[in-house]
Chain A
Amino acid sequence: MNPFNFDIEQLNQKALDIRRDIITLLVESQSGHSGGPLSCADMAAALYFNILNHNPGNPDDPVRDLNFFSIGHVSPLIYSVLAEAGYFPLRDLLTFRKLNSHLEGHPNCLHTPGIEVSAGSLGQGLSIACGAAYGIKMDGSERSVFCFMGDGEQQEGSIWEAVMFAAHYRLDNLCALIDYNHRQIDGETEKVMNIAPLAEKYWSFGWNVYEIDGHNMGEILGALKACSEFTGKPSVIIGHTVMGKGVSFMEGLAEWHGKPPAPDQGEKALAELGTTFREWSERLRNG
């Protein structure tokens, strides 16, 4: 059971709060990634606040579902989701990337509750998810495994080793989510190294594929629920998204992949998200 079970309206509100957290913590740290965290926010909100069977009060709960963020660089999103879910205080978000904070630039599972495995080198998460899904099946347990990946990340060869493995062993307790924002560090994914047609690739490797609007909460929930019911094959949800979603001057621009907003840009971004730095950092400090 998901401990929140939010409806679509509540999930949209949570995704908005997560975007506010992301901008606020990035303004505070003046270091970190903006684009990917904002494009993943809706899918991550749906997973943690409606689908995932997890227990923020007991992160090691042996019956929990597992979600692996293969894209460690979206740490602002990951930490916001975990703090909003109650794994640690919201105020910790203001310590992101600072010395002695448990919130490292890329997540460290030995420091931060709710992180299943450390990440930061792309192309590794899906294999880890495969191992967990296989082990769970060996035990005859009902736990589900999820894995968040990027679209640029699909260029890593190791992912396709894992894609083969998951289909070969019919890991239908595994659901991958791809943030297809069509952008990566060096520009448009289509121009850097085209991964299209992505759905066809997964399909031909033996996966069950859903292609959705990764910002439409109804579609996201529908696909996640369909995945959990599907048997015989692993599933992938390819969510078409916009890098920097929610902040007009970031949207669709690869240059926002890896930099934080300057304080004045942050203020502008937060205004678009219906708050101010002062108001939102106050909320975090008290949370």
Chain B
Amino acid sequence: MVELKKTRVGFGHGLVDAGRKSEKVVVLVGDLRDSTNVNFFAEEFPQRFIEVGIAEQNMANVAAGLSLVGKIPFFTTYGAFATCRCLDMLRVTICYSNLNVKIGGAHGGISVGPDGATHQALEEISILRSLPNMKVIVPCDYYETRKATLASIDIKGPVYIRFGRENVPVVTGEKTPFEFGKGALYRDGGDVAILACGVMLYEALAAADELQRDGIDARIINIHTVKPIDEDIIIKAASECGAIVTAEEHQVYGGFGSAVAEVIVKNSPVPMEFVGIQDSFGRSGQPEELMQTYHLKAVDIIKAAMKVLGRK
């Protein structure tokens, strides 16, 4: 049985790790203390925890101000609000001034479930990728989220960390290295390369097992850092495999797949397929049902792989 853990708990524990490592770490939240799991930090470091109330725009810029006096602030809310409600603050104050503000984007993806479309953030990558100085990490599981959160305090400037609500399979381990900005090879293969971020890494690995049975060797790459993206590992995959599938729990327009495509068309054009949300809002349902309904499962990755192989 595969172990299940929440990435948001990984974020919460990562904040505690960060708080222990640096006195400068401060955490802000907008009335979502428990559901974003900043509660662990709040309990251990009450003096460095700031409740801002339901005022996300203010929270983003209070974080900006804290960074200007030497703090390392994390502001936290659901990703839909952290990006869309605070976009002007992110653009003009935080990114244009290149401030050392970290953003915890909770409830990323459709797997948020029954709360429905308003709370399922599906556009953060597209939005944030277009902001100069912004860095975006989409970790795949509990451990990676925890490590990314800790690592972000040593990355200068704004960093966004995207994580989800539900229990998801653990793919990495406590000792797996996390290197910001670097993709990681999870399985070698030369027929098709499947590049995944976030929880889609698990689905990609499951797809690779299936494909193997049909004699297809899929290369699986985990790209947790969506911006800046690891161009080398993508170019190598394109030139060695000759076909690419991307998988993300996010809109395909402007998202992770688009980021990969930008690298490929400039360097080593090969056929590509995009697994992700196909330009629609989400809806209520159980997480697993939604992942199936919106074609975000291993079987969908397999279909995309077969399709791209036919175009090779």
Contact = CB atoms under 8 A, between A and B. Distances in A.
Given A110-B98, A117-B93, A118-B96, A136 B69 contact: yes
Given A124-B92, A128-B93, A132-B69, A117 B64 contact: yes
Contacts of B58: 127, 130, 158, 161-162, 165
Nearest to B55: A161
Contact of A130 (B65, B70, B88, B99): B65
A134 B28 CA distance: 12
A131 B65 contact: yes
A116 B68 CA distance: 8
Contacts of B184: none
A3 B73 CA distance: 32
B57 A110 contact: no
Interface string B78-98: 000000000011011100111
Contacts of B68: 66, 116-117, 128, 131-132, 135
B92 A121 contact: yes
Interface residues of A, number: 33
Contacts of A134: 50, 62, 65-66
A241 B11 CA distance: 49
Contacts of A158: 55, 57-58, 61, 89
Among A109, A120, A127, the most chain B Cβ lie within 10 Å of the Cβ of A127
A108 interface: yes
Contacts of A138: 26, 47-48, 71
A9 interface: no
Interface in B25-53: 26, 47-48, 50, 52-53
B284 to A, nearest CB: 29
Contacts of A128: 61-62, 64-65, 68, 93
Contacts of A238: none
Interface in A82-130: 108-110, 116-121, 123-124, 127-130
Contacts of A129: 65
A45 interface: no
Contacts of B204: none
A192 interface: no
Interface of B: 26, 47-48, 50, 52-53, 55, 57-58, 60-71, 73, 88-89, 91-93, 96-99
Interface of A: 62, 66, 108-110, 116-121, 123-124, 127-136, 138-139, 143, 157-158, 161-162, 164-165, 168
Given A118-B93, A127-B61, 17 more contacts: A108-B96, A116-B68, A117-B68, A117-B97, A118-B96, A118-B97, A119-B92, A127-B65, A129-B65, A135-B26, A135-B69, A136-B69, A139-B69, A161-B53, A162-B62, A165-B58, A165-B62
6 contacts: A62-B70, A117-B99, A118-B93, A128-B68, A130-B62, A165-B62
